[in-house]
Amino acid sequence: MDDDIHIRERKICLAQNGEETQAADACAALRGIKGVYDAQPVSSSRLTLSYSLKHLTFELIEELLKELGFYLDDSIPAVIRRNIYQYLEDNAREGIEVIEEDQTLACDIDPKIPHEEQDEYWNNYR
């Protein structure tokens, strides 16, 4: 019962790319992550996500979605909503004393997703 106060439900708006299954695909990817309780598509570009603050942050979920190729809506209301989510979660996690260094992202997603380290990326443009 004490865990219920650490569960957050968030609405996530993805950038519209014309694919009808975009939100459903994102939900399928998120369901395999430790700490995610539920992920349901609301429309082709919107989903509802329930997760534990003890395991995840909205910022971490946002980064994971970007890495998997799901880009978030960049409209002003969506950006403001995401910033409010992050602010509220930072305060809540500080209150329950979650140590970020002790957390690891455990999921069923292929860890071999191609990406470059930031330093290496910028070296290409120097």
pTM above 0.85, yes or no: no
For the 2-123 domain, the top CATH level (class) is alpha beta
- b (16+ CB within 10 A) / e for 80-91: ebbeebeeebee
Please give the angle made by the CA atoms of 53, 5 and 52, to the nearest 5 degrees. 25
pLDDT band at 90 (very low <50, low <70, confident <90, very high): confident
Burial of 47 by CB count in 10 Å (0-12 exposed, 13-18 middle, 19+ buried)? buried
Q: pLDDT tens for residues 21-33? A: 899 999 999 988 8
Domain boundaries, the chain: 2-123
Q: How far is CA 126 from CA 115, 118, 119, 122, in A?
A: 19, 13, 11, 7
Q: What is the pLDDT of residues 8-54, one digit of tens each?
A: 898 999 988 878 889 999 999 998 888 899 999 999 899 999 998 88
